[in-house]
Amino acid sequence: MRQLKTASMKTLMEMLRLSTWGRALPPETLARVAGEMTESAVPAGGDVARMGEPVTHWTGVIEGVVKMSVSSPQGKVSTLTGVIAGGWFGEGSLAKREPRRYDVIALRDTRVALMPRHTFERLRAESLSFNDFLFQLLNARLAHFISMLEQDRLLGPDERVARCLASLFNTDLYPLALSPHVDLQQAEIGLLSGVSRQRANQALQALQEAGLVRLERRGVTVLDLPALRGYSAPH
DNA sequence: CCATTAAACACCC
DNA sequence: GGGTGTTTAATGG
């Protein structure tokens, strides 16, 4: 993982200004925080973090997509969830001072923002709004995982893909999702939904047929988010 | 049986 | 060439 000095500060700063917690901080506090953070560029397929490593930073995705996965000793890989631009992760392991519980891998060329532990802990000690944000984030993540477990057990592939797409518009997890366009390949949507690429393609076509999304060369545009959230496949 | 998937295929920007 | 759509053979519930 290549470490960059805060040279491309502009985009990192942009991301902080757009983030829910960054907006709530006084400008001088945010400026100090930004000065303590670094940015890292990870090529597609590269590791952002590995399971078992000590957690030294809280991490935000500036650009790109990462997936969190675990693997069995036999080498089987299970994707837990993905994080798109605007999302933050690692606060749990950071707070618990435990090794990273999963692998974090870039699905494409990705840039992440890294907040050192001491900065994270200072914010927690000094800023009520930052703690409020973390509480919201943890709550949203818990709801997200419970929802995914439920979907995995109760829903078919078309519905899982629909819910997965809809979850990308969860503003607690991804405050940057302002446009209805999802910049993910069908293979990536498959990974995050837990279905194969061609099954994801089939599901997306069914959703397009139902008028909920429009398929594009690179990505999907959501036309009816509420309907996507509640989609149930005809059978 | 039926659905899913991995692999391989042909389009097409 | 990479992403998308489709077919085929194998697999498993």
Q: Is the distance between the Cβ of A44 and the closest atom of strand C smaller than 7 Å?
A: no
pLDDT in tens, chain A (235 residues): 444 444 444 589 989 998 999 999 999 999 999 999 999 999 988 999 999 999 999 999 998 899 998 887 767 778 888 999 899 999 999 989 899 999 999 988 899 999 999 999 999 999 999 999 999 999 999 999 999 888 888 888 999 999 999 999 998 898 877 788 888 999 999 988 989 999 999 999 999 999 999 998 888 999 999 999 999 877 6
| DSSP symbol at A195 | S
Prediction pTM value: 0.86
Q: Is the distance between the Cβ of A201 and the closest atom of strand C smaller than 7 Å?
A: yes
Closest CA to A68 of A87, A54, A86, A83: A83
Q: Is the distance between the Cβ of A217 and the closest atom of strand B smaller than 7 Å?
A: yes
Provide the positions of strand B that have an atom within 7 A of a protein CB. 3-8, 13
| DSSP symbol at A176 | T
pLDDT score of A204: 94
DSSP A7-51: GGHHHHHHHHHHSHHHHHS-HHHHHHHHHH-EEEEE-TT-EEE-T
Q: In what order do the strands lie in the sheet with A38-42?
A: A2-4, A38-42, A110-116, A57-63, A88-89
Provide the positions of strand C that have an atom within 7 A of a protein CB. 3-8
Residue A197, nucleotide of least CA–C1' distance: B5
Q: Is the distance between the Cβ of A198 and the closest atom of strand C smaller than 7 Å?
A: yes
**Tell me, in Å, how far CA of A201 is from C1' of C10?**
21
**Tell me, in Å, how far CA of A75 is from C1' of C10?**
22
**Tell me, in Å, how far CA of A43 is from C1' of B10?**
30
Distance (Å) of CA A99 to CA A7, A52, A91, A102:
29, 5, 12, 9
